[in-house]
Chain A
Amino acid sequence: MQAHGVIIDLQVLRAWARYHATVPAAAVCAGGTTLMILGTGHVLVDIAGIRLLSPLPIPLMAAIMLGFGLSMASQPDAVLGLPDPWRVKAARAVWAISSSIGGTVLIAALDLHVGSGPTPTALIRNLLVGNGLGLLAVAAGLGVLGWLPPLLLFLTAILFGTYASAQTYNWAFVLRPATTASELATTATIFLVGITAVALRPPVPRLTDRRI
């Protein structure tokens, strides 16, 4: 396929996808999407016997999971030790951005906003936060632990992010069903830092397996 001088070779694309953990990523994304669809209109009111100060919409959690799943697609399957010219760096950035756009389009297309539930913008915010934090882990060579930063942020927010009047602290914004401009700016920063880190630093899996 050729358009405007840019060649998209499907074989190269397939090889690129196979080189990365696209299949596990798809499995996690499928889980996140299913949870988001089934969880629409549902909330968690307590966890581990502890009543939450404000009910937690399940889709907010699923969006974080979907975002992390998308970041897994940037995890390489092997260390090739090849040169890393700028075009490869750009390809990594395009790959990560494309997967994020795919997730964003999916959320927008599903249009799961119900009543006072989370808005699509809030779900996209959580997706990009989960994605950005996961990408940072991949760039740090800790791709197998990519789930840890978004998970810790979200679970800690559930436990300590709400105060007595059912308001959330600013750092726990991933719990909010709607978004503000400052939250979106923070989200964009996390996402862009993640993308930049993955693009500039070859994701070398320091302690992971050659074969996954």
Chain B
Amino acid sequence: MRILSPSMAFRSLYGPWVVLPALTLEGVNLLNRHHPYLGEGAWTVDWLAIPLWIIGVVAAGVVAIDVARLLRPGSRHLVLTATHRSRLLLWATAWAGGPLLLVHTLTLITALVAGRVNDPSVGWAQMGAAYSVQCLGLLWFVALGGLIGRFIPPLLAGPVAVGAAFLTVLALSGASAGTPAFRLLNFGGATITLIGLRWNLAYLGVQALLLIGSGLFAVLVIPTVRGARLTLRWPALLTLIVIVAVIASATRWAPPGHRTVPAAAAAPTHCLSRAPVICIYYEHRRDAATIAATLTRLESAANRAGYSALVSDRLEESSRTYTPTRAGTRGFPHPSSLEDTGTLDPNELATSLLTPLTCPQLRDPAKPPPDSYWLNLESVVATWLHLAGLDPASAMAGDPEHISDKLSAQKVTSILQGFAQCKLTE
């Protein structure tokens, strides 16, 4: 069959050409925001989901046009459509979905190789599961476009499919994912590290089942000609109604919980032998030199100036589930300044180290700590930055007058002792 050949597909269908915007969007996403995900397996997979909804919406529109043209008389496919109509629709869909999967897979491999991901903390199987659901999601959009193209004329099929795909993205993708409800089209898109989390396999499983079931229906259903219109037979229509109802009610019956759930607490293992010892998660090792340089500068400055309360024996990166609690050890999360801008903000790092994360007052949004706590914290951070020869005013958004005052070593010790005992009101 000539329709199988790539040259025939590229000449007669629009679907294969979706690979061009897909390649561009995946490439731009790969390089966007200083590629902070590089090195971390789970984050890499999740990051690659960011442009999937655009690619899906575009693919739905293009495939809708292809299918609409194949099903209507008068098209240049008249000869081809005379026989094996259902097989032609399948090939048209495959010629859109296949290249998209290829692009997504190559992008993932490129990102994993560039980040030297060799021992992901979540494991390869988890990453494979999340990636598979993303691929199913892409194919689902292609199938949705094909379904719409079966009933709408070519010129309107594109806009209608795009509108429908966009609305499904809004309705089924889990805006902000604030509540732990099931969302069929939530494929990820994390912009911060996922260390300390793993994927909820029950969630991914239900996603996969629904995507496969509804996608297969959309690909296989063949409309019947009734007068000048194309319609569905009543069993197919009934099946469609059931599928829509099942998807719409999935938030009620699907397993509760977020798409990602806490993993077992694990301390960082990539440690640098220096004073103090600095430990970072292995998957963040490419940031180790940058973080360690700033940490060493801060610690050395405090040591030289006699601010012993600021000096630690060990500094450890924390995660969503791990916070160091041993005496003499301070923790800091992966700096968001590195994730957002690619440059490390010393103020953020100093603030993280001094924040008493184990205190319950900081975890109760109903009873936030008083202003005096924040003033004390900012003053100690400003003092530390002063000692290290860094300019607090350029790094901090606080009142320039109070952050220019350098606290004495005794005052810093007193404040930090209070923090250690969770006395945040003095």
Give the interface of A toward B (CB within 8 A): 21, 24, 27-28, 31, 44-51, 65, 68-69, 72, 75, 143-148, 151-152, 155-156, 159-160, 164, 207-212
Quick check: B154 and A208 within 8 Å, CB to CB?
yes
Please measure, in the bound complex, the distance between the C-alpha atom of A151 and the C-alpha atom of B54, giving whole angstroms.
9
Of B61, B153, B189, which one neighbours A147 at CB under 8 angstroms? Answer: B61
Residue in A27, A49, A155 whose beta carbon sits within 8 Å of that of B173 in the complex = A49
| B153 touching A212, Cβ below 8 Å | yes
Q: A47-B170, A212-B153 are in contact. Are A148 and B58 (CB under 8 A)?
A: yes
Other-chain contact of B57, A68, A146, A155 (Cβ < 8 Å): A155
* B54 pairs with A24, CB closer than 8 A: no
> How far, in whole Å, are A155 and B50 apart by their CA atoms in the complex?
12
Q: For residue A146, which residue of chain B has the nearest CB?
A: B158
Contact B159 A147, beta carbon cutoff 8 Å: yes
Residue from the list A47, A50, A147, A159 in contact with B162, Cβ < 8 A:
A147
CB of B69 within 8 A of chain A?
yes
Which of chain A's residues has its CB closest to B28's CB?
Answer: A160
Cα-based distance from A147 to B65 in the complex (angstroms)? 12
Asked if A49 contacts B155 (CB within 8 A), the reply is no
CB contact between A28 and one of B159, B188, B189 (< 8 Å): that residue: B159
Chain A to chain B: the 5 pairs with minimum beta-carbon distance, closest first: A48-B53, A48-B173, A212-B155, A155-B54, A50-B189
Q: How far is the CB of B144 from chain A (nearest CB, A)?
A: 15
CA distance A164 to B175 in the complex (A): 20
In whole angstroms, how far apart are the Cα atoms of A68 and B186 in the complex?
Answer: 29
Does residue B315 face the partner (Cβ distance < 8 Å to A)? no
Q: Is B176 in contact with A151, judged by CB distance below 8 angstroms?
A: no
Q: List 27 A-B contacts (CB under 8 A).
A: A21-B155, A28-B156, A31-B159, A45-B175, A46-B175, A47-B169, A49-B174, A49-B175, A49-B176, A49-B188, A51-B176, A144-B65, A144-B155, A145-B65, A145-B158, A146-B158, A147-B162, A148-B58, A148-B61, A155-B57, A156-B25, A160-B28, A160-B29, A208-B69, A209-B76, A209-B153, A212-B154
B350 an interface residue at 8 Å Cβ cutoff?
A: no
Contact, CB under 8 Å: B185 / A147: no
Question: Does chain A have a CB within 8 A of B80?
Answer: no
Q: Give Cα A28 to B158, complex, Å.
A: 11
Residues on the B chain within 8 Å of A44, using CB = 170
Docked Cα-Cα span, A52 to B52, in Å, equals 16
Chain B residues positioned under 8 Å from A151 (CB to CB): 57-58, 61, 162
| B176 shortest CB reach to chain A, Å | 5
- What's the Cα separation between A140 and B56 when bound, in Å? 24
B1-56 interface (Cβ within 8 A of A): 12, 14, 21, 25, 28-29, 32, 50-54
Report chain B residues within 8 Å CB of A45: 175-176
Specify which chain B residues have a CB less than 8 angstroms from the CB of A21 in the assembled complex: 155
The answer to whether B159 and A209 have CB atoms under 8 Å apart is no
Which B residues touch A159, using CB under 8 A? Answer: 25, 29, 50-51, 54
Do residues A145 and B14 form an inter-chain contact, with CB atoms below 8 A? Answer: yes
Q: Mark B142-162, 1 if CB is under 8 A from A, else 0.
A: 000000000001111111001
* Per-position 1/0 for B166-197, Cβ under 8 A of A: 00011001111100000101111101000000
CA distance A155 to B55 in the complex (A): 10
Q: With CB as the reference atom, state the residue of chain B lying closest to A154.
A: B54
Given A27-B156, A68-B159, A164-B341, 18 other A-B residues pairs in contact with their CB atoms under 8 A: A28-B159, A31-B163, A47-B169, A47-B170, A48-B169, A69-B159, A143-B155, A144-B14, A144-B157, A144-B158, A145-B14, A147-B158, A148-B58, A148-B61, A148-B62, A151-B58, A208-B154, A209-B75
Is B74 an interface residue, CB under 8 A from the partner?
yes
Are A210 and B74 in contact, CB atoms less than 8 angstroms apart?
yes
Complex Cα spacing A31 to B159, Å: 10
Tell which of A31, A46, A207 touches B14, judged by Cβ atoms closer than 8 Å: A207
Q: Name the one of B25, B53, B58, B191 contacting A47, with C-beta atoms under 8 angstroms.
A: B53
**Smallest CB gap from B25: residue in A:** A156
Chain A residues near B29: list those with CB within 8 A: 159-160
- Does B320 belong to the interface (CB within 8 Å)? no
B405 within 8 A of A: no
Q: Is B340 on the interface with A (CB-CB < 8 A)? A: yes
Q: A45-B176, A48-B185 are in contact. Are A209 and B69 (CB under 8 A)?
A: yes
When the two chains form the complex, which single residue of A24, A46, A65, A152 contacts B153, counting CB atoms closer than 8 Å?
Answer: A24
Q: How far is the CA of A145 from the CA of B69 in the complex (A)?
A: 13
B406 within 8 Å of A (CB atoms):
no
Q: In the bound complex, what is the Cα–Cα distance between A155 and B29 (angstroms)?
A: 13
Give the shortest distance, in Å, between B339 (CB) and chain A (any CB): 10
Whether B74 pairs with A209 at a CB distance below 8 angstroms is yes
Given the complex of chains A and B, what is the CA–CA distance between A176 and B267 in angstroms?
45
| Interface status of B285 (Cβ within 8 A of chain A) | no
Q: How far is the CA of A194 from the CA of B69 in the complex (A)?
A: 26
A211–B74 touching, CB < 8 Å: yes
Closest to B259 in A: A49
Q: Which residue, B25, B156, B185, has most C-beta atoms of chain A within 10 A?
A: B156
Decide yes or no whether B270 CB sits under 8 A from chain A: no
Known: A145-B62, A159-B50, A211-B72. Contact between A49 and B189, CB under 8 A? yes
A207 to B76 CA separation, bound complex (whole angstroms)? 8
**A31 and B156 alpha carbons, distance in the complex (Å):** 12
Chain A nearest CB from B54 CB (Å) reads 5
Decide: A48 near B189, CB < 8 A? Known: A145-B14, A145-B158, A147-B159: yes
Residue of chain A at shortest CB distance from B170: A47
With both beta carbons as reference points, the residue of chain B lying nearest to A212 in the complex is identified as B155
Docked Cα-Cα span, A44 to B175, in Å, equals 10
Closest to B49 in A: A48
Specify which chain B residues have a CB less than 8 angstroms from the CB of A46 in the assembled complex. 175-176
Q: Is the CB of A152 within 8 A of B58?
A: yes
Interface members, chain B 60-83 (any A CB < 8 Å): 61-62, 65, 69, 72-76
